[in-house]
Structure 1
């Protein structure tokens, strides 16, 4: 009986101990939870430890404090900065204050302040006790228009086209003027250089050397001074031409005179001479239309193109486009004519030499003269042009009785003309010796069948 009371007493004592231990544990847990809660609560409205923007540690800073710190470090100082663009003649300056420069400070601070706030209380507590470095970057923006306007101003003062050298033939001697370099501001590159440096966090002014490209002339004095010898020439007569035809010939020849072709350049007769219009002084004269002679503005021009073509052949210059007439011309041999028609048929040739080509063209005493000049090394060879008519095709003539014409009277509606097949050759001579022969062309002039009316009226 006594033992039972003793056990009961001991049981009650153990229970008290357990209750006490449990109460202590609850107290400790409550204290720990309170500690965690109050510790994390301190950072509800401030940055967590380890948070920085750029190189500024904002741990424990409120939004307002962070904004103020960043503005003082970045926004305010940048207003006193300048962008200096140096050119060979002067330095152009633009103040940052004109650019309305801005850092996205508020947006960045909002992001930094929100860091870790979406985590549960335990995870936030861990970030506070064992901070993880979290860095945010500011974005910089500004109004580009003042910069673009400044670049445009610099371009206008810097940009200049190169001046090409010129060559002229005076009293049998060549006179060459010097070429001049041009300059061009590399606007895009300058804009990119400014953009890459304008967002920097340095308080120092930005100094940039304007990127300027040197532009060389296509026609240089050095190249033109290699022109020193005649390599080909040809002339034709227009003695029987009317005043209108003679005028057209003179105008076209003047357009070609003094033309320079640098190595690789292509010459287009139509581009150089231009459109033959009355406004440009051209007159109506005989032209070939629909297989017969007619009248048209610019008549006679084909004699100019044919004369030039023969001078080119004598100078061994490569013709890239050439068309012969419907029927042979009277001013050059068969197979050696070259017709042109604005917007339709052209005479073109290319300078395949290593030296420039200079073309002299003039008229005198109703003769057209074309002289081709280049380097004396090309004059070591000479070229003779020959032709061979290897086939003649006779035309037919159709007679039409016409009761409105008196008996025995005739009227030519279409003049019959023979057709020809003609080969042209270039004989190549060196030191007076024939060293080669090349076929230039193989032309076919179609026969033109005649049409004649004969009167039957009595």
Structure 2
């Protein structure tokens, strides 16, 4: 019995030992297989240590399994090299303009993107790397494009300079009693802002091929057309003043020079005429000479003296044409060449004479100087002559002046010196009388002026010999 128990214990130990042996062998086999798998996985992943993982693209260009250097070379050829050989064509009516993209310093950020693509997945553990390589997922990277926008702007500026043409107004002249009209020329204007916007929008995400953009070019109509000037067919007003008997040679010269500056002026409906703007500054270089002018309450010598007779003559012609003055100032002293209230003084930089073409037709102003007379003829459409306009003045108040006498011990006894001449003052209203078929139908108040009296001043000498 005892022997039997010993045999059973022996057999149990032997069986346990066999089981341990078997398990040990099995564990060794498992460890060997795992090590082999790990070794294989490690080796498989290691292959991509210096390569870009599978499934990686840049702008649809596959760079899987490429080294950084090879990937850069591929993308350089596909993008940077290609863009340098591309061009932009701007199409305009009648002409195309071309810009090679090599002129705009184009660049894709290839180095940056390739470095990002290379580092993709490199921070994962061995198992995840193996899985990502074995079963790749599509991974797309985008390139950023940069270029010199100033170069594009300069290109567009050049197109604008070549295309833009100002329209030329129709011209009208009067020779030998007849009008001659030359036709207007239509101008061109590039829609520069839209063209620049269209170009930049096409270049925003890069250039993969030649680009073509159509530019918008607009016609620019002339302000004054031949058809509008053709409506000028008759004299609607004229006015003259005489200057030869009251003018020095210098004053007469100034009248001639300023009248020539106005001769041939065309005003479209709504246009405002500026005497100073048309005649310009009175300078020696422009042909003006020193002549008598009214300065304050005295007549003194000044450059351009006499041109107030020109502005006053024109003022009266305008009044009789039924156009409206928008800026007019009378002299401080009455003028000898026109009635009271019918003068218009000017002074460069201070006082201007302006009127507006309030008619429905353009007007042509002819200014002449002949026989000691300065004349302005205003031409427009003959239909305007159905009414006649007459200008009258009403001096409704006369204000007498006084003369003050003072003693001057520096002057010889019995002598006199007139320091300030006395001038009588006047209040005067000017009317425009409108006649239709020689019947007065309306009277308009044009102005209500006050020429203030000027007190005279005389010095009487008291110095004894």
Q: TM-score, normalised by structure 2?
A: 0.83
Contact 2:262 2:367 in 1 (8 A): yes
Q: Match of 1:163?
A: 168
Q: Match of 1:446?
A: 452
Q: Deviations over 1:166-195 (max 9, x none)?
A: 101223322110111233445555455444
Q: Match of 2:184?
A: 179
Q: Match of 2:251?
A: 245
Equivalent of residue 279 in structure 1, options 275, 285, 298: 285
Query: Using a 3 Å threshold, how does the CA distance of structure 1 residues 100 and 454 change in structure 2: closer, same or farther?
Result: closer
Q: Match of 1:402?
A: 408
Q: Unaligned stretches of 5+ in structure 2?
A: none
Cα RMSD for the two superposed structures: 3.6
Counterparts of 1:441 and 1:130, CA distance in 2:
99
Equivalent of residue 422 in structure 2, options 405, 412, 416: 416
Counterparts of 1:15 and 1:378, CA distance in 2:
132
Structure 2 SS opposite 1:272: helix
Equivalent of residue 362 in structure 1, options 364, 368, 393: 368
Equivalent of residue 312 in structure 2, options 297, 306, 312: 306
Q: Deviations over 1:239-289 (max 9, x none)?
A: 322222111111111110101122332221112111212232222221111
Structure 1 SS opposite 2:285: helix
Structure 2 SS opposite 1:328: coil
Q: Match of 2:72?
A: 67
Counterparts of 1:19 and 1:318, CA distance in 2:
123
**Alpha-carbon offset, residue 13 of structure 1:** 8.8
Q: What aligned pairs does 1:94-133 form with structure 2 within 5 A after superposition?
A: 94-96=99-101, 101-119=106-124, 124=129, 127-128=132-133, 131-133=136-138
Counterparts of 1:352 and 1:403, CA distance in 2:
60
Query: Using a 3 Å threshold, how does the CA distance of structure 1 residues 239 and 122 change in structure 2: closer, same or farther?
Result: same
Contact 2:170 2:181 in 1 (8 A): yes
Q: Match of 1:392?
A: 398
Structure 2 SS opposite 1:45: coil
Equivalent of residue 440 in structure 2, options 434, 440, 458: 434
Counterparts of 1:28 and 1:425, CA distance in 2:
123
Query: Using a 3 Å threshold, how does the CA distance of structure 1 residues 238 and 59 change in structure 2: closer, same or farther?
Result: same
**Alpha-carbon offset, residue 442 of structure 1:** 2.2
Q: Deviations over 1:221-240 (max 9, x none)?
A: 22211222333322212132
Q: Deviations over 1:332-356 (max 9, x none)?
A: 2222211101111111122344432
Structure 1 SS opposite 2:305: coil
Query: Using a 3 Å threshold, how does the CA distance of structure 1 residues 207 and 398 change in structure 2: closer, same or farther?
Result: same
**Alpha-carbon offset, residue 369 of structure 1:** 1.0
Q: Unaligned stretches of 5+ in structure 1?
A: none
**Alpha-carbon offset, residue 362 of structure 1:** 0.9
Q: Match of 2:294?
A: 288
Residue 258 (structure 2) pairs with residue 259 (structure 1): no
Query: Using a 3 Å threshold, how does the CA distance of structure 1 residues 383 and 130 change in structure 2: closer, same or farther?
Result: farther
Q: Deviations over 1:56-94 (max 9, x none)?
A: 233333223322332333344444434444455554445
Query: Using a 3 Å threshold, how does the CA distance of structure 1 residues 300 and 72 change in structure 2: closer, same or farther?
Result: closer
Structure 1 SS opposite 2:350: coil
Give the structure with higher Rg (CA): 2
**Alpha-carbon offset, residue 367 of structure 1:** 1.4
Query: Using a 3 Å threshold, how does the CA distance of structure 1 residues 5 and 233 change in structure 2: closer, same or farther?
Result: farther
Equivalent of residue 380 in structure 1, options 383, 386, 396: 386
Residue 224 (structure 2) pairs with residue 227 (structure 1): no
Contact 2:144 2:206 in 1 (8 A): no
Structure 1 SS opposite 2:266: strand
Count matched residues. Answer: 457
Counterparts of 1:130 and 1:374, CA distance in 2:
91
**Alpha-carbon offset, residue 431 of structure 1:** 3.9
**Alpha-carbon offset, residue 318 of structure 1:** 2.3
Counterparts of 1:444 and 1:36, CA distance in 2:
112
